[in-house]
Amino acid sequence: MGGGLGFLLLLIFLCVWVWVRKAKVPSRSGAQLVCKPSALATYLESQCQALKSLCEASWPWRALPTLQTLASMMGPLDSRVHFVRTYLQLSDEGLVALDWAVGPAQQKRRQTSTICSTPVLLLVPNSFGKVTRNISKLCHVALLHGYHPVVFNRRGQNGCPLSTTALQPYGDPADLREAIRYIRSQCPGALLFAVGESTGAGLLFSYLGECGSSSHLTAAGCISPIFDPRGWFEAGCPWLWQQLLLMSQKMWLSRFATVLGEVLPLDRFFGGQSLRELEEVLFCQAQTWDLYWERNNPLRDVDEVAVPVLCICSQDDPMCGAPRDTLPLDLFETNPYFFLVLTQGGGHCGFFKDSLGGAFWSHEVLLEFFNSTVDFLLTEDKLKGQAKKRGARPVLKVTQDRSGCRQESCCPHNTPDIYSWQRSYTH
């Protein structure tokens, strides 16, 4: 299987080499903010400078969204970021893993052993199991800006053991909800933000919709979200991505074939030729395809979302298709909590700023969005004289240290009683 993957990658890059010789390089890519007019929208447009400086540098790879996507999803991880892992045993005895990002000088410290007051950034990777370059780069940038990044790993994914035969359905936020409760118990005085990547954004949408005003998040962001996963599974993504994702899923599940083979028809799984077939084998043994998506549609409770959410999408996304067919523009035009940044280029999660080895423009936008949202909410509280009454909005103070990195701190606030953890395993 490894040889087949190498041949496939070689074929991809040969095609890319031909394309790049013929590509016409645009001098600049623009960004469009789609949202319902509001005071927050006006404030964001004036304060988020990154929105006005999208990919100003000219570089040839911008004409190749497929290559940008490959570089962001399969490229090398950021070597400056290390992770300290915490295993959480859930209410049904399943395990999920939280990877707390630290810099090289911090990797020997136990990041979760003390109550933290710095803002926490929860990252929800795509549903196919590996931390991507996009996620690791965001961890590095977040560390520089004073955040405490933590990556949520689903059952059995990214080295997390599979302790039960229950896997996590596409849009079931139960595991994520328990993980967030644990994070809040460890960091009760911290602001909490979240970012979902690709299919991982669906899990974040589900959580925000189910929890509503009790999500405990200050703001959230999504990079290249898939808004209609059922249609995406049924229509099938382009051949290249279909093959890569099929191979990834089959390699992942082969680790647990002995255990899962007792409850699932894995011969159908490994013989499947589409992502829909794999999804049906894993989750539709006791329910229909229609019922599965009735319960797992990420936008099923979208009207209950009660925190600002920024979505970054590209018009040349090679995995999702044309925006007019895949983006719910009416959601952004009518719901005051949803904001869409639609770019001309960037591929799928490949919003590089200058080159394929450089920084991601999307990361700058998200962090500016979080900072601007907090500043706006604090200003609104002061103007209305309600800061003391709310009590759940900690005061955020941003300063500059000598190294130029942003340092953020917040005053602890009273938190309600939350889940009493009986078992947590730390490695």
Q: What was the pLDDT predicted at 12?
A: 55
Residue 413 — very low, low, confident or very high, per pLDDT cuts 50/70/90?
Answer: very low
Q: What was the pLDDT predicted at 381?
A: 79
Average pLDDT (372-391) is 76
Q: What was the pLDDT predicted at 418?
A: 33
The continuous run of DSSP H or E covering 194 comes out as strand 192-197
Q: Is the pLDDT of residue 181 over 70?
A: yes
In this structure, are residues 146 and 119 in contact, taking their beta carbons and an 8 Å threshold?
yes
Residue 2 — very low, low, confident or very high, per pLDDT cuts 50/70/90?
Answer: very low
Residue 120 pairs with which residues in a beta bridge?
148, 192
State pLDDT tens for residues 264-301. 999 999 999 999 999 999 999 999 999 999 999 999 99
Q: Which of the residue ranges 6-15, 295-304, 390-399 has the most confident prediction, judged by mean pLDDT?
A: 295-304
Say if residue 206 is exposed, middle or buried (CB neighbours under 10 Å; 0-12, 13-18, 19+). Answer: buried
**Length of the chain measured in residues:** 427
Q: Is the pLDDT of residue 423 over 80?
A: no
In this structure, are residues 307 and 295 in contact, taking their beta carbons and an 8 Å threshold?
no
Taking the C-alpha atoms of residue 158 and residue 191, their distance in angstroms, rounded to an integer, is 26
Q: How many CA atoms lie within 13 A of 192 on its CB side?
A: 24
| 389 vs 359, more confident | 359
Q: How many CA atoms lie within 13 A of 292 on its CB side?
A: 18
> pTM (2 decimals)?
0.83
| 52 vs 170, more confident | 170
In this structure, are residues 54 and 362 in contact, taking their beta carbons and an 8 Å threshold?
no
Average pLDDT (373-392) is 73
3-state secondary structure of 289: helix
Q: What was the pLDDT predicted at 386?
A: 53
Beta-sheet pairing, 396-400 with 82-89:
unpaired
Strand ordering across the sheet containing 82-89: 31-34, 338-343, 309-314, 219-223, 192-197, 120-124, 148-153, 95-102, 82-89, 424-426
Average pLDDT (193-200) is 97
In this structure, are residues 278 and 272 in contact, taking their beta carbons and an 8 Å threshold?
yes
Taking the C-alpha atoms of residue 90 and residue 371, their distance in angstroms, rounded to an integer, is 32
- Of 210, 192, 11, 180, the closest CA to residue 118 belongs to 192
State pLDDT tens for residues 295-325. 999 999 999 999 999 999 999 999 988 888 8
- Judged by average pLDDT, the poorest of 6-15, 96-105, 229-238 is 6-15
CA-angle at 140, arms to 136 and 145, nearest 5°: 140
Q: Is the pLDDT of residue 11 over 60?
A: no
Active site residues: 317, 348
- Pull the structure tokens for residue 323: 């925006």
Average per-residue pLDDT in the chain?
A: 82
- Of 8, 417, 383, the closest CA to residue 185 belongs to 417
In this structure, are residues 231 and 258 in contact, taking their beta carbons and an 8 Å threshold?
no
- Judged by average pLDDT, the poorest of 25-29, 294-298, 305-309, 406-410 is 406-410
Taking the C-alpha atoms of residue 139 and residue 117, their distance in angstroms, rounded to an integer, is 18
State pLDDT tens for residues 80-107. 999 999 999 999 999 999 999 998 655 4
Taking the C-alpha atoms of residue 329 and residue 324, their distance in angstroms, rounded to an integer, is 8
Taking the C-alpha atoms of residue 1 and residue 24, their distance in angstroms, rounded to an integer, is 36
Average pLDDT (95-123) is 74
| 301 vs 63, more confident | 301
In this structure, are residues 168 and 155 in contact, taking their beta carbons and an 8 Å threshold?
yes
Beta-sheet pairing, 82-89 with 424-426:
antiparallel
In this structure, are residues 65 and 318 in contact, taking their beta carbons and an 8 Å threshold?
yes
Q: What was the pLDDT predicted at 189?
A: 87
